[in-house]
A and B are shown apart, each in its own frame.
Chain A
């Protein structure tokens, strides 16, 4: 079994500290409420999973939203049929999504490059259309799958859990409520576990093989290496992460709708991963947080807030600046996101993580250059 090096363990510890203290350091940004922080954690898990496929093998899937949707539906069905406890629901969601990914991956991975992207896109679109039409008995169509008071919940009934509460039952963890900060900490712990698993994969021989496939699949197969099981395993693992993220979406808000499977959602996770830095450990998390932050906070900025921000400017100039800026915030934040994305793909293919590394290198270079070089290196 792979064990992590000391630096990796300290990275994990730093990451855990950052995630668990989110309620503190997000407060100045106005984002420290549980509902939003749960989203941060959930989409970070989604992006970490996507990165295991795209970042390591280079296979660009445009159909990952299907796994998100399958995870959500499985969770809600588990709530309806088995029990309101979240542990069996999440386990079931991950397993079902894994099997689903195995089937889809088996077909899609017969092709590479653009054909793989289009195949995953076609499969995901089929799932999306079917969820709206034929599969309505399972998905409840446009309304979305909801809990009902008279659902069977056989396990709950078996253990004689009280069904006497008013209104709809809420998801529980071993009998305790998971609303508010508890819900966030559940997501946060799962995010840290996901990060740990992704670290293990990155450091393992399996991860090395995946990187080999990314850099030159033909050469890998010429050395007598059967690449198929490796890519398939990466696809399934990546799908299971997405299933877990979908399950958590339904755990924190027990309903599942087909719009989660739409291909724009698949596009979103691509955006997150690229923005942060594809193929890096931190990148997908940074990207997911940034996009979710933009989506919830940046989009709330309206012209009034802009006016109060820019009130120091002369009157006429202020009007112009506000008119221009208002196209990029509020409703128009997608425009900012798109521009940022294009710029990153063109100038910074390694994403923000690479950008910050370059910046750090430049800064340290400057610092070293300004010092009088007290320790001249011996000649080698």
Chain B
């Protein structure tokens, strides 16, 4: 029972990341009708927003302290981050919490990148075939990841968890079990809560604002909305920016769990496409549900009991689900009837 709960929890935070990426992917597909192979690269760019922010905030001054000698007689170098010089203890807190704070950098940066991408290239591909959309966004993904590589190198750059959140929460106690039977790292709980908030935010934005209403109407029938005198293209550009932001902040918060390198986006892209397909192309609820479902499924498949039953299942379970869904029910779990059914 405990092992079951632990795997469920493990699956949830991974599922949160899948759901966030797949949400943006399917939002773009549902509105613009574009299959975006560069979406994984946007997730990766989000990760590197966190890396950049941490680099900036930990720029430091080196002073030599002549009083204080190291054991071998040379003066000790004292390194203090500039922010700590300027703001004192508050600066130290800023450095400690660099990962969550870098969301403040990531949101505008990703919005600009997303809108620039859509206006610069993707808008020319609305009328072209899905294969061509895949090709051009695949090329874009290569360009983005190579730019990141030329600035940050090829090695993963680990990001620290804020020191207050490094311990694990004793979840078992909350559920009335004995202490130390079921623990779970705080940061993963934070990630789960964060993804829930972002997903809720996106849905609320689409459901309860006028802008969201227009976008939903445009998803249902683009031409009619245009005929009614609404500049739907402009709205959809902003939707693309929004999807980029969602992918970006998902990346920012994921950095402490997985040290980002430039290829990260491609690895997540394949998985998140599978998630979108399982959920149903263009179905937002489907993407979120499938994200969590596949995350949990993957973590159950990696249990030793399951692995001894079906060897290798942990490696392929996600793809297997995708193949079965595509062959049996191509519109996915929650896709609309008649949309992309062959």
State the A residues within 8 Å of B (CB).
58, 60, 107, 110-115, 117-119, 121-123, 125-126, 129-130, 132-135, 263-264, 267, 270, 274, 327, 331-332, 334-335, 337-339, 341-342, 345-346, 349
Contact = CB atoms under 8 A, between A and B. Distances in A.
Given A121-B273, A122-B319, A335-B149, 8 more contacts: A107-B327, A118-B326, A129-B315, A129-B319, A274-B135, A339-B139, A342-B140, A345-B135
B131 A113 contact: yes
A111 B138 contact: no
Contact of A270 (B138, B146, B150): B138
A327 B342 contact: no
A117 B136 CA distance: 15
Contacts of A267: 138
Main secondary structure of the interface of A (DSSP, over half): helix
Nearest to A58: B131
Interface of B: 35, 121, 124, 129-132, 134-136, 138-140, 142-143, 146-147, 149-150, 266, 270, 273-274, 277, 281, 311-312, 315-316, 319-320, 322-323, 326-327, 330, 340, 342
A119 B245 CA distance: 28
Contacts of B130: 113-114
B263 to A, nearest CB: 9
Contacts of B150: 327, 331-332, 335
A330 to B, nearest CB: 10
24 contacts: A107-B323, A107-B327, A110-B327, A113-B129, A113-B340, A113-B342, A115-B277, A119-B326, A125-B316, A125-B319, A126-B319, A126-B323, A133-B312, A134-B311, A134-B312, A274-B135, A331-B150, A334-B142, A335-B146, A338-B142, A338-B146, A345-B135, A345-B139, A349-B132
Which 6 pairs between the two chains have the least Cβ-Cβ distance?
A134-B312, A338-B142, A129-B315, A335-B146, A342-B139, A338-B143
Contacts of A58: 129, 131
Main secondary structure of the interface of B (DSSP, over half): helix
Contact of A335 (B35, B143, B327, B342): B143
Nearest to B271: A125
Contacts of A125: 270, 316, 319
A118 B91 CA distance: 47
A118 B142 contact: no
Contacts of B132: 345, 349
A130 B316 contact: yes
A337 B149 CA distance: 14
Contacts of B281: 114
Contact of B326 (A111, A126, A130, A331): A111
B278 to A, nearest CB: 10
Contacts of B136: 342, 345-346
Contacts of A263: 270
Contacts of A117: 131, 134
A230 to B, nearest CB: 17
Q: Which has the most chain A C-beta neighbours within 10 Å: B129, B146, B273?
A: B146
